[in-house]
Amino acid sequence: MFNIIALENGLENVQGFYCGATNVGMRPDQTQGDVAFIRSDVPCDISAVFTSNTFQAAPIKHFQKYPKDFQTDFVLINAKNANAMTGEKGVEDIETILSVLASKQKVLNPLMSSTGVIGYRLPIEKVTSAFDTLDFHSKNSEETARAIMTTDSFKKELSYKVELEDGTSFTIAAICKGAGMINPAMATMLCFITTDADIPKADMDALLTDATEHSFNRISVDGDTSTNDTVMLLANKSSGHYNKEAFAEVLNKLMFELAMMILRDGEGANKLVAFEVKGATTLEEAKTASMALSNSLLVKTALFGEDPNWGRIASTIGASGIACDEKRLTIHYDDLLIYSDTFRELDKAREAKAYAIMKKESFKVTCDIGLGKASYISYGCDLSYEYVKINAEYRT
């Protein structure tokens, strides 16, 4: 038995962690930071999950140069420049920046993480100028969360306290960014999770992988997978307390909620839709069909148009290549049966109900393939004019 209590704000709730941000001139809006840090006063164990994109950005390559199971106490984060497709120079730039950091602040195996435009070298002097203005003893989670935003329209931070049965407790918190280029197999997103739980390293790796699979890997804004996606879990063990079941639950809850925040902030998106495919022959097939629905342009534009056009849902299932049979298939919008073999055309009353569901900010589409027992759920959003505008004008 344990209680999970939501806390106000974010990273500042976790013992021994510090964070803050500054603007070094990479982001034109001076009121928002572009370089941020997260620091622990004792070394942390670290688990990380990175993008499946073959062209991993320089910060990910730099991370991988450390020995297995290394500890760290510092993560430097910048916006506006992804430091991706920058080759060996990109990794060297990180080493240069972090050596300047080390000359000003005692750090253990410092890390870097970046988001922004692909294909440009980091402006080293600008980035290192941050070390003159950052206060390494600040605890300003909001400022940090805002500094890592790109096309995000709101900051994303969450924090929970877990009270265990024996009266002890630990905390966990996270900041996260992401709004576009979001696809299963990770979004263009960065997520930094800090905890003072006394969690063993082996549990960190297993629980982070599992929670990623159930959260960030199930959302899609546009079917693209970035070069920089990163989820990091930093554990400094400062509370001295831990319970695996409780930690798994709070980590899943935290990461799922962050994933839904990203989806709600999907570029130009107005609706959050869960696509459940059940009754599939295999889990792989359920996943394939569910992801096909989340990613279909025709489904996404029908959502934007609030058109209960189930034909596009059915066609997408059929085009996904999974085993299916139109006589076995059923489609529901929330609890409303909208297609089955014996019920193909909508009467007026049902069509009115379907239109009402389509107008909701959030609803569920359930496709029962009717052939097996495997199911999978993914989460998508609509595609609006605004998405096109944001992505056509991204660099300008």
SS3 275: strand
Q: For residue 207, give the nearest of 333, 49, 94 by alpha carbon.
A: 49
Size of the site for a copy of itself (CB under 8 A): 67
User: Cα-atom radius of gyration of the chain, to the nearest Å?
Assistant: 22
Which of 3, 5, 55, 337 forms a contact with a copy of itself (CB under 8 A)? 55
* Cβ atoms of residues 188 and 181 within 8 Å: yes
Positions annotated as catalytic residues are: 188
Residue 87 in the binding site for a copy of itself (CB under 8 A): yes
Sequence-distant (6+) residues with CB within 8 A of 176 are: 145, 156, 157, 189, 190, 191, 192, 258, 261, 262
| Binding test (CB under 8 A) with a copy of itself, winner from 102, 117, 337, 352 | 117
Q: What is the largest CA-CA distance in the chain?
A: 73
SS3 139: strand
* Binding segment (CB under 8 A) for a copy of itself, from list 48-56, 107-115, 130-138, 149-157: 48-56
Q: Does residue 5 bind a copy of itself (CB under 8 A)?
A: no
Binding positions for a copy of itself, 176-215, rule CB under 8 A: 180-181, 183, 185
| Nearest distance in Å: CB 45, a copy of itself | 29
In the bound complex, what is the minimum distance in angstroms from residue 178's beta carbon to a copy of itself?
14
User: Residue 193 contacts by C-beta under 8 Å, 6 or more apart in sequence?
Assistant: 172, 173, 174, 208, 231, 232, 233, 234, 251, 254, 255
Near a copy of itself by CB under 8 A: residue from 53, 140, 169, 366:
53
Contact stretch for a copy of itself (CB under 8 A) within 21-29, 66-74, 274-282, 388-396: 388-396
Q: Site for a copy of itself (CB under 8 A): which residue of 52, 133, 153, 209? A: 52
Site for a copy of itself in 213-242 (CB under 8 A): 222-227
Binding mask 336-375 for a copy of itself (x = CB under 8 A): ---x-x--xx------------------------------
Minimum CB distance to a copy of itself smaller for 185 or for 283: 185
- How is residue 147 written in tokens? 């500094």
For position 309 contacting a copy of itself by CB under 8 A, the verdict is: yes
| Ramachandran angles phi, psi of 305, nearest 5° | -80, -5
| Dihedral sign computed on CA atoms, order 101, 106, 108, 114 | negative
How far apart are alpha carbons 335 and 365 in whole angstroms?
A: 9
Segment contacting a copy of itself by CB under 8 A, of 68-76, 164-172, 245-253, 387-395 = 387-395
| Number of neighbouring beta carbons within 10 Å of residue 255 | 26
Residues that bind a copy of itself (CB under 8 A): 52-56, 82, 84-87, 89, 117-121, 180-181, 183, 185, 222-227, 295-298, 301-302, 304-305, 307, 309-312, 314-319, 321-324, 326-327, 339, 341, 344-345, 383-385, 387-389, 391-396
